[in-house]
Amino acid sequence: MLYQKKEADYHELAEGMLIKTLVHGEKTLMTKFNLKEGQVHASHRHPYEQTGFLIKGKVKFTIGDEVHIVETGDAWSILSDIEHQAEIIEDSIGIEVFSPVREDYLAFKA
């Protein structure tokens, strides 16, 4: 599968959170998120390993009992079934890879 750049094709996942699934294979799925300053994405957990890179912005992550301020150029990895949340400090753009494939995110293909 190949993704070629398009500025359109975002879907609203939640208020202030736009998502676009870029590509996926048998075991991984890659998404791009546009996140609005001030949004808080509630604490949650899921069976997916989640690895990301912040292209632009600033995000406060709470992962388990640890709090991290992530800025442009930083990356993270959240193991499956770990409680986590995100507070968007500045408008941000991030890329995340999920494994296994998030079937629910297939609907957001660009």
- Give 50-60 pLDDT, tens digit per residue: 999 999 999 99
The C-alpha angle 104, 37, 47, rounded to 5 degrees, equals 25
The overall pTM is greater than 0.75 = yes
Q: 82-97 pLDDT, tens per residue? A: 999 999 999 999 999 9
pLDDT of residue 14: 87
Side chain identity at residue 15, one-letter code: E
In terms of Cβ atoms closer than 10 Å to its own Cβ (0-12, 13-18, 19+), residue 23 is: middle
Instruction: Judge contact between 35 and 59, C-beta under 8 A.
Output: yes
pLDDT at 5: 72
State how far the Cα of 95 lies from the Cα of 87, in Å rounded to an integer: 16
Q: Which fold does the domain 17-108 belong to in CATH?
A: Jelly Rolls (2.60.120)
